[in-house]
Amino acid sequence: MIRTYDRKLIIEDGSQYYGYGFSADTDKVFELVFHTGVIGYQEIFSDPSYTYQGVVMTYPLIGNYGMAADDYETFHPTIGAMIVREYEDHPSNFRAEATLSEMMKKFDVPGISGIDTRKLTRSIRDFGSRKALITSVNTPLEKGLEILKETTIPGNMAEIVSCKESWEYETEEPKYHIVAVDFGIKHSILKAWKKRGCHVTIVPWNTSAEEIRKLQPDGVFLSNGPGDPAAVQPAIEMIQQLRGSVPMFGICLGHQLISLSYGAKTYKMKFGHHGGNHPVKNIATGKVEITSQNHSYAVDESSLKGTDLTITHMNLLDKTVEGVACEKDSIYSVQYHPESAPGPQDSGYLFDRFIQMMKEGKAHAKKN
Ligand SMILES: NC(=O)CC[C@H](N)C(=O)O
């Protein structure tokens, strides 16, 4: 059967890519990024950090193993769009309970297939992330460009995806109590804490230092999340007030917020890091970890000079900052994703280190 193009992708520079809709028929504006993972489309689809991002999957076949109930990163996905070469609507996997298309429809996420994703990825590498729109094939280019011009993508997206009220991720006979500040937290991070015997209280993105103190945590975790870290000002202030009094650990957006709170700066990268194969050097040990990554902003290395933070990890592809720490404040963070969903599991030790810090903190408190 010959199928005719029914949807298209319009980029703000005026280029157009024609394809086939495989999910919701809604028109949406987002920022283009590409992801180089071979697997993991379910985790990507449901990772809140992809809010307002249209993800071009460089692996050419997407949908083939369906969607498994246990693998969602959130139950309310907010990703901008998915752009693929070939979409497979007949998954073969004993764990599959739905198709990608069904779930995208449910959450009103547009998807387009039949796209020359190699060409599109090269254009993102050459010209950077840009705004784009998925729309009907009948939308005139001028109209699409007008929509793109008129639509602004918000900076603070934590306020969109964060929980509105605190909730508990329970663990039987917990050894430690973590307060996790939710800027768009992934479930696999909560699972990583549970596996290590932690009870987690998840609190909204703008919870104050005082409110967090009242919960008497053994440690405070700062989550991943979408958007521009510099736009999440209340969280930066909260970290400034809290650090030094309780161990703190941040991942991705959490790492950027920690850096900002010490006076460093963040900047937007040309096309970011999105994939599961980024080599990162642990500066203390000299060891290289293969890491899972998803970020469009980074901490400016030169801006860390003169702050209390030291660089602990470095990306070997482009030498960007991948981790910082301040020993006296018992605080550390990484730009990449040690929860490794999807991705290699080289960096799980970062969760164990926090357990150790909380243990030492408890022993210290007992002594005094
Ligand atoms: N995964 C994340 O936490 C992403 C952090 C931030 N929104 C960035 O794009 O850099």
Placement of tokens 């810090």 in the chain: 357
158 contacts 253 by C-beta, under 8 angstroms: yes
- 325 Cα to the center of ligand 1, angstroms: 18
Residue 97 lies in a domain: yes
255 contacts 333 by C-beta, under 8 angstroms: yes
Q: Which contiguous run of DSSP H or E holds residue 12?
A: none
Task: Pick the atom of ligand 1 nearest to 223's CA.
Answer: 3
pLDDT at site 348 = 95
Residue 342 lies in a domain: yes
Q: 74 with 13, same domain?
A: yes
CATH number of the domain encompassing residue 123: 3.50.30.20
pLDDT at site 363 = 79
pLDDT at site 108 = 98
Give the tens place of pLDDT for each residue, 95-104: 999 999 999 9
- 272 Cα to the center of ligand 1, angstroms: 9
Q: 358 with 256, same domain?
A: yes
The Cβ of residue 237 has, within 10 Å, a number of other Cβ atoms equal to 14
pLDDT at site 362 = 79
Q: Whose CA is nearest to atom 4 of ligand 1?
A: 295
- Structural tokens at position 29: 């504006």
Q: 194 with 73, same domain?
A: no
Which of 32, 186, 187, 252 to mutate for ligand 1's pocket (most ligand atoms within 8 Å of CB)? 252
Q: Give the E-state strand segments of 300-358 in sequence order.
A: 310-315, 321-326, 331-334
Give the tens place of pLDDT for each residue, 301-311: 999 999 999 99
Residue 2 lies in a domain: no
For the entire predicted model, the pTM comes to 0.97
Which of 30, 161, 189, 224 to mutate for ligand 1's pocket (most ligand atoms within 8 Å of CB)? 224
156 contacts 227 by C-beta, under 8 angstroms: yes
Q: 306 with 211, same domain?
A: yes
Structural domain tally of the chain?
2
Binding site membership of 295 for ligand 1 (Cβ less than 6 Å): yes
CA 214 vs CA 27, 179, 254, 359: distances in Å: 44, 11, 21, 20
Q: 69 with 169, same domain?
A: no
CA 284 vs CA 52, 281, 287, 313, 321: distances in Å: 36, 9, 8, 8, 14
Q: 123 with 192, same domain?
A: no
Domain boundary among 150, 172, 199: 150
- 226 Cα to the center of ligand 1, angstroms: 5
Residue 315 lies in a domain: yes
Residue 140 lies in a domain: yes
Distance CA 107, CA 77 (A): 7
Beta bridge partners of 163: none
Q: Domain range holding 287?
A: 158-367
The one-letter amino acid code at 228 reads: D
Distance CA 279, CA 93 (A): 30
Distance CA 33, CA 295 (A): 10
**Burial class of residue 300 (count of CB atoms within 10 Å of its CB; 0-12, 13-18, 19+):** middle
Binding residues for L-glutamine, as ranges, are 49, 225, 227, 253, 256, 294, 297
Q: 170 with 306, same domain?
A: yes
pLDDT at site 368 = 66
Distance between terminal CA atoms of the chain? 76
Task: Pick the atom of ligand 1 nearest to 298's CA.
Answer: 10
Which of 296, 333, 335, 336 to mutate for ligand 1's pocket (most ligand atoms within 8 Å of CB)? 296
Domain boundary among 115, 131, 150: 150
Distance CA 244, CA 231 (A): 24
33 contacts 121 by C-beta, under 8 angstroms: no
- 311 Cα to the center of ligand 1, angstroms: 18
Q: 332 with 184, same domain?
A: yes
Measured N-to-C along each axis, helices 253-261 and 233-242 cross at an angle, to the nearest 10 degrees, of 70
- 254 Cα to the center of ligand 1, angstroms: 9
Per-residue pLDDT of the chain (368 residues; tens, 9 = 90+): 778 999 999 999 999 999 999 999 999 999 999 999 999 999 999 999 999 999 999 999 999 999 999 999 999 999 999 999 999 999 999 999 999 999 999 999 999 999 999 999 999 999 999 999 999 999 999 999 999 999 999 999 999 999 999 999 999 999 999 999 999 999 999 999 999 999 999 999 999 999 999 999 999 999 999 999 999 999 999 999 999 999 999 999 999 999 999 999 999 999 999 999 999 999 999 999 999 999 999 999 999 999 999 999 999 999 999 999 999 999 999 999 999 998 899 999 999 999 999 999 877 777 76
Domain boundary among 121, 150, 179: 150
Q: 127 with 162, same domain?
A: no
Residue 1 lies in a domain: no
Q: 242 with 262, same domain?
A: yes
Task: Pick the atom of ligand 1 nearest to 183's CA.
Answer: 3
Distance CA 26, CA 136 (A): 9
Residue 197 φ/ψ, nearest 5 degrees? 75, 30
CATH number of the domain encompassing residue 338: 3.40.50.880
CA 335 vs CA 105, 259, 308, 324: distances in Å: 31, 11, 18, 9
Q: 351 with 257, same domain?
A: yes
Query: Which residues are identified as catalytic?
Result: 252, 337, 339
